[in-house]
Amino acid sequence: MTEPTVEDVRRYIAAGLPCTALQVEGDGRHFFATIVSPEFEGLTRVRRHQRVYAALGDRMREQVHALSMQTLTPAEYAAASPGAVQPPSAAGLHDH
């Protein structure tokens, strides 16, 4: 099975979760996503991540080996400073 591209992962998330902003970076095995969705309103960080994993479905186990993410509501995203939504260095990525 070929490794997914950044665009593939972006498309997978967007297909399963309504997003007002979505940025994905990665190298085919490790990805970082900034995901902004009104569905995150009132959810803990763990529940937000579970919602993204649900959107990815079986792809999370079969294709996407590591995904680090920042999950924000539209209000949180609007209030964030520009530096607050930048991806960590590749060394900061962890398998999930």
| Residue 85 in this model has a pLDDT that exceeds 90 | no
Position 89 confidence tier, pLDDT thresholds 50, 70, 90: very low
Ordered DSSP codes for 1-17: -PPPPHHHHHHHHHHHS
CATH class of the domain defined by 6-80:
alpha beta
69 beta partners: 33
Position 61 confidence tier, pLDDT thresholds 50, 70, 90: confident
Residues listed for the chain: 96
Q: Name the residue with tokens 């509501």.
A: 73
Tell me how crowded residue 80 is: count the other CB atoms within 10 A of its CB: 14
For the chain, the domains span: 6-80
Could you report the per-residue pLDDT of 10-32, keeping only the tens digit for each? 999 999 999 999 999 998 888 99
